[in-house]
Amino acid sequence: MNSTPRLVVLACAAILLSLTACSSSSPRSRASRSTTTTHAPAQASAIVLNGQGNDLDAYLAAPPFTKQVVDHHHDDAHPNSLDINGQICFDPKNPRRFIAGEDTNQDTTGHPGWGILQLSGDHVGNLSIDEVGKLVPTYQASTDNPENYGCGFLPNGNIVTTDVGNQAAGQGDGQLIVWFGPFDSFAVKYCKIDVGLTTGQGVLVRGNELFVANARADDDHASGVYRYDLSTFPTSNDAAGGCDGKDPTGAPMTTKVTSSVFIKPNQGNNVATPNAIVQAPNGHLFVSSVINGVIGEFDANGTFLRDVVKAKATEKLGAKPFSVGTPLGLGVDALGNLYYADIGIVAGPKGVGPGDATGTVRRVAFVKGKPQAPVVLDRGLAFPDGIGVWTLPAP
């Protein structure tokens, strides 16, 4: 595993933020090696997944938040493990199937992409995963390494992903891609939708709409949460299915899909760098802003309502993170509890970026509609960047 964090720009200034670490590869089907922290039994309706340090961690979504390391990062001690990072997305039609960024062996013979992962087990302590497929596209000629992040399942069963592209400077060249099944393969067909994302990160699928958070701007694009109409998306990777062009790498790309800004940063809200977006059971939206320690709540139409997480006005980013952390990845359970991956950025002589084991995973509960102070599920983490919520099967 390469211990050098990946860097991602989160503001128009050249502020660098680490998302995940690169690492190395292993066979395509793997059983995990897991570590469990034992606590008193708890009742919960969900399990929260997080990728940090390229481990996959799981937490019971109720105090005392029992933890299991479901899959260790791939190294000599764990040669059959994966390298997990980014947003974690469960298939609504196959609730034990999920997508996550998967970087095994990217420094040698592998490629960054998204693993198609099958979850086994029924409680924190006996969970394991197997990789049954992988999504690996071509990437634009960026000044940075390819950085996978966002994902989502479309109503028709297709998959969408985002990668970050240029981070510190230059025109946006992150990608939005739609993938066509079957997904039990390591050569899945795809069509590119957009190759100009400006630090494209979190994805939300809502009915026939797709939202993508873009944290920064370039000469042609403003930052913000962008909306795409899924009815215009191609249905296959050829011209007959609406994928009628090629991108600069020669990969299939549509010319027929456009987007519009749905939520503008700093426009009557405190979301400075839109990094992730999720929907609550009541239809409201939460958007994270890592650089200033904010999670904003919006109504279904994108109108700002309030901040549910916000750093104190007196706090300055320094050797320690904000008291609420620096929220990046988001997830919501069926009860409306909000979870976030705090990547733990600090400011020091070497600039702005994740500190040494300063990351946390936190939960915001709501009492009579009022957000409570964030509760820490885990701390001392290495650049946690994405959240996934698995609804437990009914007993």
Instruction: In whole angstroms, give the CA distance from residue 172 to residue 117.
Output: 29
3-state secondary structure 198-210: CCEEEEEEECCEE
What's the pLDDT at 7?
39
pLDDT tens figures, 300-310? 999 999 999 99
- Please determine, for residue 1, whether its predicted confidence score (pLDDT) is greater than 60: no
3-state secondary structure of 326: coil
Where is average pLDDT lowest: 69-83, 161-175, 249-263? 161-175
pLDDT tens figures, 313-357? 999 999 999 999 999 999 999 999 999 999 999 998 888 889 999
Instruction: In whole angstroms, give the CA distance from residue 58 to residue 70.
Output: 7
What's the pLDDT at 393?
80
What's the pLDDT at 109?
62
Instruction: In whole angstroms, give the CA distance from residue 33 to residue 82.
Output: 10
- Please determine, for residue 66, whether its predicted confidence score (pLDDT) is greater than 50: yes
Instruction: In whole angstroms, give the CA distance from residue 62 to residue 57.
Output: 15
pLDDT band at 10 (very low <50, low <70, confident <90, very high): very low
Closest among 143, 186, 161 to 16, alpha carbons compared: 143
Would you list the domain boundaries of the chain?
A: 5-391
pLDDT tens figures, 116-130? 999 999 999 999 999
pLDDT tens figures, 119-158? 999 999 999 999 999 999 999 887 767 889 999 999 999 9
Name 345's Cβ contacts closer than 8 Å, sequence gap at least 6.
17, 18, 290, 291, 317, 321, 326, 352, 353, 354, 355, 358
pLDDT tens figures, 156-203? 999 999 999 877 677 888 999 999 999 999 999 999 999 999 999 999
Instruction: In whole angstroms, give the CA distance from residue 155 to residue 309.
Output: 31
Q: How many CB atoms lie within 10 A of CB 176?
A: 24
pLDDT band at 93 (very low <50, low <70, confident <90, very high): very high
In the chain the first and final C-alpha atoms are separated, in Å, by 39
Segment 80-101 shows an average pLDDT of: 96
What's the pLDDT at 107?
63
62-65 long-range contacts, CB within 8 A, separation 24+: 64/39, 64/40, 65/39, 65/363, 65/377, 65/378
- Please determine, for residue 382, whether its predicted confidence score (pLDDT) is greater than 80: yes
3-state secondary structure of 68: strand
Average confidence score pLDDT of the chain: 88
**Of all residues in the chain, what percent carry a pLDDT higher than 70?**
87
Q: What CATH number should be reported for the domain whose range is 5-391?
A: 2.120.10.30
Contact present, 392 and 45 (Cβ < 8 Å): yes
Tokens 């370039």, residue? 218
Segment 235-256 shows an average pLDDT of: 97
Tokens 């104190």, residue? 312
pTM recorded for the entire structure? 0.91
